[in-house]
């Protein structure tokens, strides 16, 4: 797919006379906000299992303990959602990076200090989220992986998607290699049994802390979970960086600011990438439908690699379909404009409903009913976004993040004449 990118003029940005400023609403590329809004829905649908139960029991495939309609719901989320909208959100982060770099160049200002402050602000917000709210946070990883993205700032637009795909596929190759090593050392059954037992102990610790513990107990468990999650950067990191680069390529080529100029690209993503990814995802799910925590095998390594490639293809297909239907999805632009606030709001609501120090519904919501729960919550978030942005220019956390980035508090309330 990367071969369809050709050098084109940089995507349009409003000229800035002398300094970098927060982007005004009229300067935003609306389709990016719409894409972020849809991605937030997908992320919520994916995260519901991890919010309502032990984190380590989620994202493991089609869990065999679900039966009947719950099992079908789990399978649909796994095949159609899991890994597809997280990658889309990562792609949009890379697109935002490229647009900000262009604005810095137009303003003739040094982009690096600005960008480092932005990454540091995101890291601080992510650490607060991961430690104080929910251990399934992705912001810390984004902040850390955003740093090597600077090295690709001057890369030609046509090569960014190529480098992104290569970087993304490194994780798949790594999982295949790890699977082969496990196969070679298959005689170490005791070590595998110990790893499986350790996985079960980790689940029980999460269950005790999140279902029955106090908020302090949960914070201590979240600190442990964060260390474990950061250990997975070797695999997830290349996927995230790869999507950052693909997103930067989309933005710098003009494919997001002016999608009408790229009908062939979007047509191939809609009718080629998405169906191909779906077929690969179904093959992976049928081959290895579930990987128990703490276990790993050559087959699961290959199945992970296959599902990773499928997620990339389906993510790009979803992007193309959303761009195609952007006029009908415009209602989601406001929630996309305050995506950081809404992402953390999902965690706040989820942990309040399910954790022991909240309403205590941990592991009590059937898998099938997690879907309407997510849809209702998302609908309320859309309404909240529309209401909030009628009175304010930014979401509350976006406002704080901008203050960290620009070293001053931007005006928050709307005034007469502001958009």
- Which value, in Å, is the radius of gyration of the alpha carbons in the chain? 21
pLDDT at 3 over 70: no
Domain count, the chain: 1
pLDDT confidence of residue 298? 86
Tokens of 259: 């999608």
Flag the least confident range among 3-17, 316-330, 394-408.
Answer: 3-17
Which one, of 84, 244, 242, lies nearest residue 174 by Cα?
242
Structural domain range at position 362: 2-406
Neighbours of 88 (CB within 10 A): 26
pLDDT at 54 over 50: yes
Confidence of residue 11 (pLDDT cuts 50, 70, 90): very low
pLDDT confidence of residue 95? 95
**Ranges assigned E (strand) in 77-150:** none
- Give the residues across from 290 on adjacent strands: 61
CA distances (Å), origin 289, targets 60, 70, 79, 199, 307: 8, 15, 10, 18, 11
CA distances (Å), origin 308, targets 12, 326, 334: 33, 26, 30
Within a domain: 130: yes
pLDDT at 416 over 90: no
DSSP-derived secondary structure for 48-66 = HHHHHS-GGGSSSBS-TT-
Give per-residue pLDDT as tens, 127-174: 999 999 999 999 999 999 999 999 998 888 889 999 999 999 999 999
CA distances (Å), origin 65, targets 73, 343, 366: 13, 28, 11
Within a domain: 266: yes
Give per-residue pLDDT as tens, 176-235: 998 888 767 655 566 667 777 888 899 999 999 999 999 999 999 999 999 999 988 888
Confidence of residue 28 (pLDDT cuts 50, 70, 90): confident
Cβ atoms of residues 179 and 302 within 8 Å: yes
How many residues make up the chain in this entry?
419
Rounded distance between C-alpha atoms, residue 75 and residue 67, angstroms? 11
Cβ atoms of residues 377 and 346 within 8 Å: yes
Residues 6+ apart with CB under 8 A from 71: 62, 367
Give per-residue pLDDT as tens, 310-363: 999 999 999 999 999 999 999 999 999 999 999 999 999 999 999 999 999 999
Cβ atoms of residues 317 and 277 within 8 Å: yes
First to last CA, the chain: 37
Cβ atoms of residues 122 and 139 within 8 Å: yes
Give per-residue pLDDT as tens, 263-292: 999 999 999 999 999 999 999 999 999 998
Count each helix (H run) and each strand (E run) in the chain, helices first.
16, 0
pLDDT confidence of residue 7? 34
Within a domain: 170: yes
Confidence of residue 27 (pLDDT cuts 50, 70, 90): low
Tokens of 221: 């468990």
- Of all residues in the chain, the percent with pLDDT exceeding 90 is 76
Within a domain: 413: no
Rounded distance between C-alpha atoms, residue 190 and residue 257, angstroms? 55
Within a domain: 281: yes
Q: How far is residue 33 CA from its own chain's centroid?
A: 14
Rounded distance between C-alpha atoms, residue 60 and residue 221, angstroms? 20
Backbone φ, ψ for residue 290 (5° rounding) = -150, 140
Tokens 């468990």 appear where?
221
Cβ atoms of residues 316 and 262 within 8 Å: no
Rounded distance between C-alpha atoms, residue 27 and residue 275, angstroms? 34
pLDDT at 31 over 90: yes
pLDDT at 1 over 90: no
DSSP secondary structure code for residue 413 in this structure: B
Give per-residue pLDDT as tens, 59-84: 999 999 999 999 999 999 999 999 99
How does 373-382 read in b/e, with b if 16+ C-beta sit within 10 Å? bbeebbeebb
Within a domain: 417: no
pLDDT confidence of residue 12? 38
Mean pLDDT calculated for residue range 19-38? 75
Within a domain: 230: yes
pLDDT at 10 over 90: no
DSSP secondary structure code for residue 290 in this structure: B
Mean pLDDT calculated for residue range 232-242? 92
Confidence of residue 246 (pLDDT cuts 50, 70, 90): very high
pLDDT at 5 over 50: no
Tokens of 311: 């997620």
Within a domain: 223: yes
Query: pTM for the whole thing?
Result: 0.90
Give per-residue pLDDT as tens, 85-103: 999 999 999 999 999 888 8
pLDDT confidence of residue 116? 95
């Amino acid at each position: 797919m990367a071969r369809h990118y050709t050098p084109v003029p940089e995507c349009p940005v409003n000229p800035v006379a002398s300094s970098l400023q927060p982007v005004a609403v009229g300067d935003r590329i609306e389709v990016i906000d719409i894409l972020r809004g849809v991605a937030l829905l997908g992320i919520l649908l994916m995260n519901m299992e991890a919010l309502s139960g032990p984190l380590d029991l989620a994202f493991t495939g089609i869990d065999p303990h679900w039966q009947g309609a719950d099992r079908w719901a789990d399978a649909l989320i796994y095949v159609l959602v899991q890994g597809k909208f997280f990658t889309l959100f990562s792609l949009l982060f890379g697109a935002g990076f490229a647009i900000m770099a262009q604005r810095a160049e137009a303003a003739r200002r040094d982009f690096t200090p600005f960008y480092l402050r932005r990454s540091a602000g995101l890291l601080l917000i992510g650490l607060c989220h991961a430690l104080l709210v929910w251990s399934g946070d992705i912001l810390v990883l984004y902040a850390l992986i955003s740093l090597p993205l600077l090295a690709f700032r001057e890369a030609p637009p046509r090569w960014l998607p190529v480098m992104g795909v290569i970087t993304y596929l490194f994780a798949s190759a790594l999982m295949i290699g790890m699977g082969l090593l496990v196969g070679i050392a298959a005689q170490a059954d005791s070590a595998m049994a110990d790893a499986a037992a350790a996985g079960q102990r980790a689940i029980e610790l999460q269950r005790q802390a999140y279902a029955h513990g106090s908020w302090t107990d949960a914070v201590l468990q979240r600190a442990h979970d964060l260390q474990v999650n950061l250990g997975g950067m070797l695999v997830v990191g290349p996927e995230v960086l790869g999507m950052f680069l693909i997103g930067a390529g989309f933005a710098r080529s003009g494919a997001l600011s002016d999608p009408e100029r790229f009908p062939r690209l979007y047509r191939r993503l809609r009718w080629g990438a998405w169906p191909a990814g779906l077929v690969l995802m179904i093959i992976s799910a049928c081959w290895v439908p579930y990987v128990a925590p703490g276990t790993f095998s050559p087959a699961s390594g290959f199945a992970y690699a296959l599902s990773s490639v499928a997620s990339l293809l389906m993510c790009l297909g979803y992007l193309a379909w959303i761009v195609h239907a952007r006029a009908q999805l415009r209602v989601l632009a406001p929630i996309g404009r305050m995506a950081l606030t809404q992402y953390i709001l999902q965690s706040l609501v989820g942990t309040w409903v399910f954790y022991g120090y909240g309403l205590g519904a941990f592991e009590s919501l059937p898998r099938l009913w997690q879907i309407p729960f997510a849809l209702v919550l998302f609908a309320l978030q859309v309404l909240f976004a529309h209401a909030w942005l009628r009175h304010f220019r930014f979401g509350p956390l976006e406002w704080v993040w901008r203050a960290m980035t620009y070293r001053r508090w931007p005006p928050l309330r709307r005034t007469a004449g502001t958009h």
